[in-house]
Amino acid sequence: MLTEVHVPEDVPAAVGLIVSGATVLGGGTSLMPALNDYGSPPTELVSLRRTGLSGITVTGSTVTIGATTTLSQIEHDSRLQILNPVVRSIASVPVRNLATVGGNLFVPQPYGDLAVALVALNARAVPAGGSGPAELPLERPALVTAVTFELPAPGVFKYVKAARRRWNSASLVTVAATIVELDGLVSGARVALGGVSDHIVRAAAVEEALLGRPLTEETVAAAARAGLGELSPADDAYASAWYRTRVFPVHLRRALLGR
């Protein structure tokens, strides 16, 4: 039951309310349906819309995105074209107008496709309170003020989301990766997976199978086989666990090879 919505004017005030037991409200696209559809204990919300956490800064190759920046703001920022395929694979235009970067970090799988991409980009979350940037995905809830990452070279970032329909559909399998090649061999790899577990998977076995090898269908197929042990998908209204496991190698290939 929703009892009160606080709208603090700065981050310290928001932190104080959260410490007192209130729940953070970003865009509300995940939280509000849960409050409306299911019984809940008395709940106070802290809206972050007036805390000054919205905005995108690009300095050289370093990108910093405020936590309350909406997905639509990212979508229409010409400096972040690398994230356009990611953002446009999420929900619909009205939802992207509300959904925030910070909220996407904490939405449960099989949602949170932007967070999957940020893990592949080696992004860091900037928490409130002055502590150092934290690696994604975050292991516990926190008030995040921004995320920051380095823009990769052209062609390095790769992304595919498989879904039942184009709009407003959760992930069946999401693959995001940064792949660096040197002299025809993979010299660096970060692979993140969504839709295949109750959390974002950093696919270490896939990365290890790619490193030092040419990026070919045979290499990617072997990497997919190595990665099967990292999957723990669930049955839901979108797909069965069996189906997600079965099509994972296909979508890994599509993401890394484009075919």
Per DSSP, the residues of 59-101 read ETTEEEEETT-BHHHHHT-GGGGGGHHHHHTSS-HHHHTT-BH
Last residue of a domain, one of 150, 173, 204: 150
**Which of these three, 130, 150, 170, is where a domain ends?**
150
Residue 39 and residue 62 share a domain: no
Beta bridge pairs of residue 4? 44
Rg over alpha carbons for the chain, rounded to the nearest Å, is 19
Read off the CATH number of the domain in which 39 is found.
3.30.43
Cα of first residue to Cα of last residue in the chain, in angstroms, is: 48
Is 95 domain-assigned?
yes
Spatial distance between the Cα atoms of 201 and 228, rounded to a whole number of angstroms: 11
Residue 18 lies in a domain: yes
Say what the pTM is.
0.95
Let me know whether 41 and 60 are in one domain: no
Same domain, yes or no: 60 and 43: no
Beta-bridge partners for 225: none
What is the four-CA torsion angle of 89, 96, 189, 239, rounded to 10 degrees?
-50
* pLDDT for residue 161: 97
Can you give the pLDDT at residue 64? 98
Average pLDDT value for the chain: 94
What are 92-130's pLDDT values in tens digits?
999 999 999 999 999 999 999 999 999 999 999 999 977
Domain that holds residue 191: 160-257
164 and 247 both lie in a single domain: yes
Do 60 and 43 share a structural domain? no
> Is there a domain that residue 210 lies in?
yes
In a domain, residue 216? The reply is: yes
Q: pLDDT digits over 42-72, tens only?
A: 789 999 999 999 999 999 999 999 999 999 9
- Over range 82-87, report the average pLDDT: 97
**Tokens representing residue 216 in the block:** 């070919």
The reported pLDDT for the residue numbered 132 is 83
Same domain (yes/no): 110, 191: no
Q: 29 in a domain, yes or no?
A: yes
Q: For residues 198 and 228, state if they share a domain.
A: yes
The whole-number pLDDT of residue 191 equals 98
In tens, the pLDDT along 184-202 reads 999 999 999 999 999 999 9
Ranges of beta strands (E only) in 183-245 are: 185-194, 201-202
pLDDT tens, 208-257? 999 999 999 999 999 999 999 999 999 999 999 999 999 999 999 999 99
pLDDT band at 141 (very low <50, low <70, confident <90, very high): confident
* pLDDT score of 140: 78
Give the domain-ending residue among 104, 119, 150.
150
Task: Give the CB-side neighbour count of residue 28, counting CA atoms within 13 A.
Answer: 13
Residue 181 main-chain phi, psi, to 5 deg: -115, 145
Q: Is the N-terminal amide bond of 110 cis, ω within 30° of 0?
A: yes
Residues 200 and 244 in one domain: yes
248: domain CATH number is 3.30.390.50
pLDDT, residue 224, reads: 98
Arithmetic mean of pLDDT, 15-21: 93
Asked whether the beta carbons of 24 and 51 are under 8 A apart, the reply is no
* Residue 202: predicted pLDDT: 97
> Residue 155 falls within a domain, yes or no?
no
Please report, for the domain that includes residue 140, its CATH number.
3.30.465.10
Backbone angles phi, psi at 193, to 5 degrees: -125, 140
Same domain, 168 and 252: yes
Q: Where are the beta strands (DSSP E) in the chain?
A: 2-6, 23-25, 43-47, 56-59, 62-66, 124-127, 134-135, 144-150, 157-163, 171-182, 185-194, 201-202
Average pLDDT of the residues in 140-157: 94
Number of structural domains the chain divides into = 3
Distance CA 162, CA 89 (A): 9
66 shares a domain with 146? yes
